[in-house]
Amino acid sequence: MTALVKPDFDQLLDQAKRVLPGGTFGNTAANFVIREGRGGRVWDEDGKEYVDFLLGSGPMLVGHCHPDVTAAVQAQVALGTTFFANNRQGILLAEAIVDAVACADKVRFVSSGTEADFYAMRLARAHRKRDKILKFEGGYHGMSDPALMSLAPKRPGNFPRPVPDSAGIPVSVRDDVVVAPFNDLEMVAGLIREKHDELAGVIVEPLQRIIPPAPGFLEGLRKLTRDHGIPLIFDEVVTGFRFAYGGAQEYYGVTPDICTLGKVIGGGFPLAAIAGRDDIMAHFDANAVGEDGFMKQIGTLSGNPVAATAGLATLEILRRPGAYKKIFATGRALMESLGEQLKRAGIPAQIMGVPPMFDVVFTAEPIRDYRGVLRGDADKMRKFNALLHKHGIMKGESKYYVSLAHTEDDVRHTKEAWAAAIDELKRS
């Protein structure tokens, strides 16, 4: 093993190619290496500065290196970094979640959103004593086998048959996943009526990636699942504490039976959670449900005190007066500007999402579900994102995350970058 002593950028990329598959962690392009972040900006190893709308894929809602979060974490690190046991900070964070989130009577911690969604689906199976999970085409629920069924199929199949989106998924997984189109309450109702005795649960992103729920969709889904005694799972790994302090269930006014949380609650550290009704969460407690109903869950870093400390500090910042008003105002100004610029340029586009989290889809047609997004001009989207990167904007392939730390100067820079990129896009 060789020591890494300030190699230049090209040497660092060569090192990555030698030790990482594809030269990357799997999240972003191999030739993009971040050095540091502060507030709403990041700098790469080549010294270039970006307005950051990736935000670590969402966790940094209050910005990078917030002094209050940093101070709290440094104080906890001096006391110990992990214990594989209950700790004060984890208990306090669980209490904060129960106080904030409508469906949360109890909380169980894990280390990633993938784990949280995987355990939530298993929890529904344990509770209902059924095997099948209904999910929505295009819905993202982590990297487990059932979650990767019809996540982003390039050639969507026929509902309700799922399509595997990764090598290595057993064929048998298809038999336990039912797939429906998002925002199609009539089809969902038919599937639930037909398969209700086989369904363990229904899992949904309240806002599916950047697609808002149609009026009445979440309410109808809530009624259908309640009428048939099927647990409804809201995947709030992304939306939790982002749309409102109580998450998407507060924002949309619909309460599920179980929810998953992540990103924001860890304040930039690996932490996620499953939260839900007392009688369902009891399956994590052998003393409450007996051996037959007990669902084992163990994680070396679950409830990690450093992550919980960062989460507590982040939530305290979000409780301050005006926090969400500022996030929404920043996001709304950005969404309006992007839409106006594209319209003036004569480029057909839909601005999708809500102010804390949005993006553009290059199509003239309204979008209600994954297939609507799939019909968008993906090549134009890739070109636009590449041009924005050149002009100092960092974002994911299909999402802008807005933070409390983004300033008026960040907004101005972004609008100018959009103007330059749109002009180049028109001429390409």
Is there a catalytic annotation at residue 263?
A: yes
310 contacts: CB under 8 Å, gap ≥ 6: 69, 72, 73, 266, 267, 268, 269, 271
What is the H or E stretch that residue 142 is in? Answer: none
Query: Which pLDDT tens digit goes with each residue over 278-321?
Result: 999 999 999 999 999 999 999 999 999 999 999 999 999 999 99
| Sole residue written with tokens 């959103």 | 113
* Structure-block tokens of residue 185: 């309450």
Phi, psi of 7 (to 5 degrees): -70, 155
Q: Which of 106, 135, 263, 399 is catalytic?
A: 263
Q: Parallel, antiparallel, or unpaired for β 199-204 and 232-236?
A: parallel
Query: Which pLDDT tens digit goes with each residue over 215-265?
Result: 999 999 999 999 999 999 999 999 999 999 999 999 999 999 999 999 999
Does residue 388 carry a pLDDT above 50?
A: yes
Query: Which pLDDT tens digit goes with each residue over 176-217?
Result: 999 999 999 999 999 999 999 999 999 999 999 999 999 999
Is there a catalytic annotation at residue 154?
A: no
* Structure-block tokens of residue 84: 């594989």
Count the neighbouring beta carbons within 10 Å of the beta carbon of residue 229: 10
Is there a catalytic annotation at residue 235?
A: yes
**Residue of 354, 397, 373, 376 lying closest to 252 (CA atoms):** 354
What local confidence, expressed as pLDDT, does residue 5 receive? 47
Q: What is the DSSP letter of 206?
A: S
Q: What is the DSSP letter of 106?
A: E
* Structure-block tokens of residue 57: 């894929």
> 126: number of CA atoms within 13 Å, CB side?
24
Rounded-to-integer distance, Cα 270 and Cα 252, Å: 27
**DSSP per-residue letters across 146-175:** TTTBSSS-SS---TT---B-STT--GGGGG
User: How long a stretch of residues is the chain?
Assistant: 428
Q: What is the Rg, in whole angstroms, of the alpha carbon atoms belonging to the chain?
A: 22
Say whether 274 sits in a helix, a strand or coil. strand
222 contacts: CB under 8 Å, gap ≥ 6: 232, 254, 255, 256
Band (7; pLDDT cuts 50, 70, 90): low
Rounded-to-integer distance, Cα 133 and Cα 125, Å: 8
Q: Which of 140, 245, 251, 324 is catalytic?
A: 140
Domains and CATH numbers, the chain: 32-65+324-427 (3.90.1150.10), 67-318 (3.40.640.10)
Q: Which of 52, 176, 235, 359 is catalytic?
A: 235
Query: Which pLDDT tens digit goes with each residue over 139-157?
Result: 999 999 999 999 999 888 8
